């Protein structure tokens, strides 16, 4: 069973990985999905379902890391309107 510290570490790792996406829309989507996923699983009490959710989170972390690298290779040269600093 995953300890609370391990779950929090996974949460922080997923958020850090989401912040590595160069595209604003993808970065915000990944961040929203991480937060929503953890909120959805907050009420889990069964040890087997907790372990399954933790394992799924670990696999999603690996996918997100790979995707962040791929997206950084093909990053758009123009920033999103949300990222442009106003004078």
Instruction: Please give the DSSP secondary-structure letter assigned to residue 77.
Output: S
Tell me if 84 is assigned to some domain.
Answer: no
Check if the beta carbon of residue 62 is closer than 8 Å to that of residue 5.
no
Give the whole-angstrom CA distance, residue 64 versus residue 30.
8
Task: Answer yes or no: is pLDDT of 87 > 70.
Answer: no
Q: What is the pLDDT of residues 15-36, one digit of tens each?
A: 999 999 988 889 999 999 999 9
Check if the beta carbon of residue 50 is closer than 8 Å to that of residue 3.
no
Q: Tell me the percentage of the chain whose pLDDT exceeds 90.
A: 68
Task: Answer yes or no: is pLDDT of 74 > 90.
Answer: no
Tell me if 86 is assigned to some domain.
Answer: no
Domain range enclosing 8 = 4-74
Q: Report the C-alpha dihedral over residues 47, 50, 55, 57, rounded to 10 degrees.
A: -170
Task: Answer yes or no: is pLDDT of 1 > 70.
Answer: no
Tell me if 79 is assigned to some domain.
Answer: no
Tell me if 23 is assigned to some domain.
Answer: yes
Tell me if 81 is assigned to some domain.
Answer: no
Check if the beta carbon of residue 6 is closer than 8 Å to that of residue 15.
no
């Amino acid at each position: 069973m995953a300890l609370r510290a391990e779950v929090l570490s996974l949460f922080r790792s997923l958020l850090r990985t989401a912040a590595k996406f160069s595209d604003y829309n993808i970065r915000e989507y990944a961040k929203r999905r991480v937060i929503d996923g953890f909120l959805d699983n907050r009420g889990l009490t069964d040890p087997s379902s907790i372990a399954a959710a933790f394992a799924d989170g670990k696999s999603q972390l690996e996918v997100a890391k790979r995707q962040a690298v791929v997206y950084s290779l093909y990053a758009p040269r123009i920033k999103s309107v949300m990222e442009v600093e106003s004078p």
